[in-house]
Amino acid sequence: MAPPPPQRKNPSRGPAVTGGNGRPPRRMASRDAAERAAFFARREAAAVLRRVLRGDATRRSAGSIKSLVYSPTVRNKRATFALVCQTLKYLPILKEVLGSSGVLNSKWKKQEELVVVTAYDILFGQGTAVSGSAEQLILANKDILSSALDRICAKRNVSSVEDLVGQKTAVKPKPRFLRVNTLKTTAESVIEELSKIHMVYKDDMVPDMLVLPPGTDLHSHPLVTNGKVFLQGKASCMVAVALNPKPGWKVIDACAAPGNKTVHLAALMNGEGSIIACELNKERAKTLQHTVRRSGANNIQTVNGDFLDIDSKDPSYAEVRAILLDPSCSGSGISTERLDYLLPSHSRDDQDDASTSSRVMKLSAFQKKALSHALSFPSVARVVYSTCSIHQAENEDVVNAVLPLATSLGFELATPFPQWHRRGLPIFEGSEHLLRTDPEDDLEGFFIALFVRKAANGGVEEPSEDVAVEVPRKVVLRRRHGLRTFSSLRLSRMILCSNRVLW
């Protein structure tokens, strides 16, 4: 094959090939763009990884891997998600390689997550790198790192890195559920738009819930980014529907972040009435605020404070009619969806019975305290207690422990979604009113308990026009519309802001 003819030079205009057909420059531009995208994705992945690992180490996570990646602060979500997941998968090997080679010295310790992400990407991933201190560090030591990796493989008598990593739990594909935000649009309008490119149908149980094929990625779809639909699991949506708040009510969402259930409540109330959404964690409170803004709901007040600090006897809360309590829990029902099997703590948890671990027992104690507090509000007619846990200690045991108090205050258990086949574990009389969902149902593992206050004449104080809830005889009372000024969280622990205030 003859060599290509030499390119002629034009000293006054630079290289002769600068455009026109433009294929070489276009390829170079494309390569440069890819390198820049990889550069910034590593920084975003390192920031997410730092939060994930710190939260996992202290068991005080600010969110799941998915929620952190798909937060509004991350721009290149797809690349960042892949980098975080793959780096976690290879993390033990990467740390061993970096440690044995001496590359991760004290100078780089403060940027450990960035070095680890970059090492994964260059050693096992794309291998695309541009100028950057971490990139130059790994590239300059690539031979040393590769030799260290070969020694580790030889020592453990394996032929490939994949044998070192081992198999991680795979996520069983589930349908893609999404909830139509009726504050902004209708299910029919969303179906009309999505059906052009996806197979979509209405769920037969949860109103305004649509079902799409597994693996459907809508995170960047305009319907999602502008808040017309929310990517929310079916089990999660069943919680707000079970509470069934009426337009004009005053409602508390006690542990509200990330806010999907909060804005679902607002939609069920047609944007009328008042919702007080509490979240103690400052970072999660910011996520809650973003969710509220995206939903367009104007009847939600977000509070960076502790629900337990509210004085239920304060006159400001005399007209609170419903409380949704979805407190901190182990997350065992969504651990696969959360990708918890990628976390360093996962292997440690396998050594213990997680359902009776000290962490679950502490969570259970808090949950009992929070549920007792929710039931203490004088005018509350409906309380939903829910978790995304599969552990009896956080579900049936909590309800059973609080049931005597609930009965003394005039509450009884009602049956949310009576047509649903999976009920509570039969450990006490009345557990058939409780609701569980399970991955076998192509859903997350959730638990729902609904407390309804009886009226003085023996009926149920609040009507339930929704077929999703089965309660005893109904007595219709006059709806209260008056709202009082929110107050009484300890000022040292709260920041009150309306949904129009920017963080």
47 marked as binding residue: no
259 marked as binding residue: yes
Give the tokens for residue 452.
């309804």
Closest Cα to residue 40, out of 107, 139, 130, 124? 130
326 marked as binding residue: yes
85 marked as binding residue: no
Cα(331)–Cα(335) distance, integer angstroms = 6
Cα(267)–Cα(295) distance, integer angstroms = 9
Closest Cα to residue 344, out of 93, 41, 106? 93
Residues 460 and 227: beta-carbon distance below 8 Å: no
261 marked as binding residue: yes
388 belongs to the catalytic site: yes
257 marked as binding residue: yes
396 marked as binding residue: no
Tell me the C-alpha to C-alpha distance, in Å, between residue 99 and each of 109, 121, 143, 149, 420.
11, 17, 15, 11, 53
Closest Cα to residue 365, out of 393, 384, 391? 393
Residues 443 and 437: beta-carbon distance below 8 Å: yes
278 marked as binding residue: no
Catalytic residue among 237, 278, 329, 388: 388
Half-sphere exposure of residue 217, counting CA atoms within 13 Å on the CB side?
6
Please give the DSSP secondary-structure letter assigned to residue 134.
H
Cα(93)–Cα(91) distance, integer angstroms = 5
First to last CA, the chain: 65
Binding positions for S-adenosyl-L-methionine are 255-261, 279, 306, 326
Residues with a catalytic annotation lie at 388
Binding positions are 255-261, 279, 306, 326
